Structure formats: C-alpha cells, structure tokens
C-alpha cells in the first residue's frame, strides 16, 4: 500500500535576524507561512529492512539523491529512535520524492521533505509518536524542519526551532519567482554580520498582533526580511526582479527566506494569474500559489 504525502513550501512573512549566539548560530524571530507549492513523497513498506530512496527533481538537479538527502536522514533518525525506545521495526521503507519546490530558493523544500518523511513514516509504521516527539527529532535535521510539522501560520523563535502556532492568516494569493541565481544562506548571514551596528527590523511581534487582529492592511504593510538589504545590494538582478514583479501587478515583493526566490502578494487569484503570465515570458520558474491553513497543510 502506497502512502502519499504533500510536502509544502513556506515563506517568511517576517524574518528578524539577531546577533550570533555563543554556539555560532544566530537568534531569530519569524512569522512562517505554508504556501500551496508542494513536492510529493510516496512511501511504502518493503519486506527487507532497508531504506530505498529515489528522487525526481527536474528543476533542482543539485538535490542529493543518496543517503545525504534529508528524506533518508529523517527516516534513519526516526527508525533509530523507534528502536531505542523499544518499538519493533519489521519492515523497510521504499520512498520516491517528486520535487517541484526549487532548491536554494529560501522556500524550505528540503526541510519540508524531512518533516513529510517523519510524518509519513510515523503513520505507515503506526509508531504513534506525538507531534512533540517528532519535533524533537526534527530539530536535529535543520532549523526549519519543526515548523513543517505544524504548518499554517506560526511564530518561529530561538534558532528557528521553537515553534508556536498562531491564528491562520486570511487566505492570500501570491506569485513566486525563482531566478536562475542562488543565494548561499551562510553567505547571507556573513553579510549581515559584516554590517556595522546593524539592527533588526524586529517586525515579527507586530506582524503577530496584526494577524491576531485579522488586520489585512497591516499584514501587507509589516512584511519585511532582514536579509533583503545585503542580498539586494549584492545581487542587483534580484532587486530588479522585485521591481519587475511590482510592475507586473504585485502589491508587495519580498525574499523567501534568504532567497533567491521572491514572492509577490496580489489582490486575488485572477490578479495572480495575470501577474504570473506577464512574468513567465522572461522567468519560466514562476508559480501562482496561495497561503494554506494549518488544517490544509496537514491534510
């Protein structure tokens, strides 16, 4: 029997990056949001105790196809944990990942795949681990992975692994564009650290209040991302793309994570389709998406 899981992408409605912590990581605060662009993970049980993994990623040839893929790492981690707490595993797992979420885009594709693998394996093997159990394991795989076990709209803090689900925002339509260039996350953090006397926008708590008050105008106006200043300064083509998206009809345009994908909010689905049509003439990797509620992201 095949178990199929949709592995959704995310955007950061806010992304506040604070100073570096003693462990070398940065403190951060963000409102993270699931969007409808997704990969598909198919999983089935096999008789032999093994992990069989295949991957189809036409838009992301750099995605690892072996044991270093986050899907394989997540499955191995959960199987080892299950064994350590006395759960008997009598089957192996075969899984196939079909990727549509581009890599090196700031959309969290790999992290979402890891969370989907944890959820799917927990279900297919009937391990009965709680979401909180899975979150503890997810934090070992990457800072974004815990968010995808909740989905919808959530506050991320600490090193990004402390997740607090909040009210789902009203449904918003947007256009996502992934240009040919990529932005290294490490490079982006280094650029922030090099800015003298840098201060964060610290917009996350204001965005949380706007969402809790269902204030769509403030939700649109408060969006910001601390990475945008250094990324747009160095990668001027991304700054130009942001202008191009606004001219094509986007109300506001921001980086997804540390980039290089950009998302532009629009008024409705019709406007999104028209905006995307204009952009796709030059930027073939353009998608019309919408925000997802927590229930939709978990379905």
Other C-beta atoms lying within 10 Å of the C-beta of residue 48? 8
Decide if 144 is catalytic: yes
**Pick from 40, 19, 8: which is nearest to 107 by CA?**
8
**87 catalytic, yes or no?**
no
Token pair listed for 220: 């649109």
Full 3-state SS string of the chain: CCEEEEEEEEEEEEEEEEEECCCCCEEEEEEEEEEEEEEEEEEEEECCCCEEEEEECCCCCCCCCCCCCHHHHHHHHHHHHHHHCCCCCCCEEEEEEECCCCCCCCCCHHHHHHHHHHHHHHHHCCCCCCHHHHHHHHCCCCCCHHHHCCCCEEEEECCCCEEEECCCCCCCEEEEECCCCCCCHHHHHHHHHCCCCCCCCCCHHHHHHHHHCCCHHHHHHHCEECCHHHHHHHCHHHHHHHHHHHHHCCCEEEECCCCCCEEEEECCHHHHHHHHHHHHCCCCCEEEEEECCHHHHHC
32, 136, 226 from 166: Cα distances, Å: 10, 20, 22
Instruction: Single out the residue of 128, 159, 153, 165 nearest to residue 141, CA to CA.
Output: 159
Residue in the structure block whose two tokens are 């499955």: 75
Question: Which of the residues 16, 39, 99, 144 is marked catalytic?
Answer: 144
Positions annotated as catalytic residues are: 10, 144
């Amino acid at each position: 029997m095949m178990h199929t899981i949709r592995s959704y992408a995310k955007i950061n409605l806010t992304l506040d990056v604070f100073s570096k912590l003693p462990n070398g990581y940065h403190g951060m605060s963000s409102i993270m949001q699931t969007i409808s662009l997704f990969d598909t993970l198919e999983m089935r049980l096999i008789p032999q105790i093994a992990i069989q993994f295949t991957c189809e990623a036409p838009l992301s040839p750099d995605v690892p196809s072996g044991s270093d893929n986050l899907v394989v790492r997540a499955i191995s981690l959960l199987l080892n944990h299950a064994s350590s707490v006395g759960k008997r595993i009598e089957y192996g797992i075969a899984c196939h990942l079909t990727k549509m979420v581009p890599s090196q885009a700031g959309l969290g594709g790999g992290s979402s795949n890891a969370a989907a693998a944890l959820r799917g394996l927990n279900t297919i093997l009937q391990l009965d681990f709680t979401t909180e159990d899975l979150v503890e394991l997810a934090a070992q795989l990457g800072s974004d992975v815990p968010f995808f076990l909740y989905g919808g709209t959530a506050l991320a803090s600490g090193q990004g692994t402390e997740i607090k689900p909040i009210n789902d925002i009203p449904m918003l339509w947007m256009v996502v564009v992934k240009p040919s260039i990529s932005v290294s996350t490490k490079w982006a953090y280094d650029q922030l650290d090099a800015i003298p006397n840098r201060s964060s926008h610290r917009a996350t708590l204001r965005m949380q209040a706007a969402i809790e008050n269902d204030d769509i105008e403030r939700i649109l106006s408060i969006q910001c991302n601390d990475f945008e200043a250094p990324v747009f300064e160095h990668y001027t083509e991304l700054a130009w793309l942001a202008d191009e998206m606004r001219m094509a009809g986007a109300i506001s345009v921001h980086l997804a994570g540390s980039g290089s994908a950009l998302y532009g909010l629009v008024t409705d689905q019709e406007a999104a389709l028209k905006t995307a049509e204009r952009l796709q003439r030059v930027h073939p990797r353009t998608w019309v998406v919408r925000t997802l509620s927590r229930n939709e992201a978990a379905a």
